[in-house]
Homo-oligomer: A and B are copies of this chain.
């Protein structure tokens, strides 16, 4: 007998029919002799519907009230799943964030979990209930409702699994696991049986939007084995776990790509201390996130500074930089939306050299020009022209021996 936490996202509970499917899957896990705690998101579209009402009232609604409003979405799904399980003859109990004592800080709409008491969850489990907890929501020290930000139900699930010392946390989603590359553009992509927390973190931040990044950080910190699997099939998914010796043997675990960034270059910038700050601070102040930053030294006292921003913020960032270029005396501002970032990720890189040169030569062999490079301990990312994205992913997938099962 094990204690298993199962999290289902918005599409999995999108209507009563789908809630019935979820109930069936939960019931099977219970029938196999396990204790089961279920974490649910709101019905898909519901959070946006509620937000839309608030935004019709005012452009910047108060975040405390937004959390009161949107937390109703999960409240509806947990009660409906509980009723469905009961109608099938199972004992079930729904719980909201405040009842499960999911204590967070007071940063409304993006709160962080501080502690979970879980005593009532344990009490309900002891009475052989299937316990269904509203994801995405918590309560702060003053008793106000908070929410954890987009994808926060993943974090709810992992945090509850951690506090209950669950044997496993299953994240049911609309993909059936983590792949060596996006199967839509790389037909040889394979589902990974296992991946390390660190690799998952890099993949998540690179655009493989399967798990909220914070949930992976939580899983790593508290050593919660997480399984990413499909709501719509019985297949086993991908286990996200601590790295082990076997994982290190594989140099590259996967290839990811991201087409959602754009590049901005200020050329012939007077090269003096503090110039990078002058260029980038106004971008941060406008709430625009910068990913990669590269500065090249030119001949003379000139430098070129290039950085990437989300495509959706491109026009705003360009407008800001045109003003700055004038102020600091830069020659010109050049923007490029037709870029993509391809990355190779793997904990094996820590103990293997030559990964970067292998990556560069593989891309060069296909005449793919590299525009920018950035690296971490377990990742190498190259910015290339967008039109080469699919070719680059397939090329790297082959070059790093990912086409064949290990």
Contact = CB atoms under 8 A, between A and B. Distances in A.
Nearest to A144: B99
B99 A120 contact: no
A61 interface: yes
Given A57-B87, A120-B143, A94 B72 contact: no
Nearest to A60: B87
A76 interface: yes
Given A72-B76, A79-B68, A56 B86 contact: no
A279 interface: no
Contact of A16 (B19, B53, B86): B53
Contacts of A58: 83-84, 86-87
A400 interface: no
- A65, A78, A86, A120 — which one has the most chain B CB atoms within 10 A of its CB? A65
B57 A80 contact: yes
A78 B87 contact: no
Interface residues of A, number: 37
A82 B94 contact: no
A96 interface: yes
Contacts of A78: 68
Contacts of A71: 75
Nearest to A101: B143
A66 B54 contact: no
Contact of A57 (B16, B53, B94, B120): B16
Interface in A136-164: 143-145
A236 interface: no
> Which one of A54, A61, A71, A83 has the greatest number of beta carbons of chain B within 10 Å?
A83
Given A62-B82, A80-B57, A143-B120, A96 B75 contact: no
A98 interface: yes
Contacts of A20: 57
B76 A50 contact: yes
Interface string A220-241: 0000000000000000000000
Most B-side CB within 10 Å, residue of A61, A78, A79, A87: A79
B80 A69 contact: yes
Contact of A61 (B19, B53, B69, B83): B83
A82 B96 contact: no
Contacts of A87: 57-58, 61
Interface of A: 16, 19-20, 50, 53-54, 56-58, 61-62, 64-66, 68-69, 71-72, 75-76, 78-80, 82-84, 86-87, 93-94, 96, 98-99, 120, 143-145
Contacts of A83: 54, 57-58, 61-62, 65-66, 69
Given A57-B80, A69-B75, 10 more contacts: A16-B53, A54-B79, A58-B83, A61-B83, A61-B86, A65-B82, A66-B79, A66-B83, A68-B82, A98-B143
Nearest to A71: B75
Nearest to A77: B69
A124 B98 CA distance: 20
Contacts of A62: 82-83, 86
Given A16-B56, A57-B87, A58-B86, A76 B80 contact: no
A75 B72 contact: yes
A54 B69 contact: no
A50 B80 CA distance: 10
Contacts of A69: 75-76, 79-80, 83
